[in-house]
Amino acid sequence: MACESQRDKNRRKADYRAYMLEVARTRAKAVGRECSITLDDIVVPTHCPLLGIPLRLSGDRGHRPSLDRKDNAIDYVKGNVFVISQRANSLKGGLSVEQLAMFAHNLLAYIGKP
């Protein structure tokens, strides 16, 4: 992965929602997917709704806000995007809801339920 330029860092810090939207549009275009969301569709909470960790732009990258599709089979469209932490997005990956449920079930079975 190439180092992030200072220009990119400044742009990201200026308006993180606009940065996430630009990244989503670029990613969607590269793979031939739709991206019809607007800035109004990107709501950044104070904490990750999946992990409960605070979202922040500095420090641990895992705490940075990350735009994600709720259902990976559906494009970047209104109602299918939400902001979570980069850590949660990495964990969720491209798995379907069914695959995530199977993963959680099997993980708990393998390591033992808390």
Q: What is the pLDDT of residues 58-75, one digit of tens each?
A: 889 999 999 999 988 899
What gap in Å lies between CA 53 and CA 72, rounded to an integer? 23
The domains of the chain are located at 6-111
What gap in Å lies between CA 66 and CA 81, rounded to an integer? 10
Band of residue 12 on the pLDDT scale cut at 50, 70, 90: low
Q: Are 83 and 44 in contact (CB under 8 A)?
A: yes
Residue with tokens 């200026």: 14
Band of residue 1 on the pLDDT scale cut at 50, 70, 90: very low
What gap in Å lies between CA 73 and CA 69, rounded to an integer? 9
What gap in Å lies between CA 34 and CA 37, rounded to an integer? 9
Query: 38 vs 15, 16, 24, 49, CA distance in Å?
Result: 14, 13, 11, 21
Tokens of 22: 């630009």
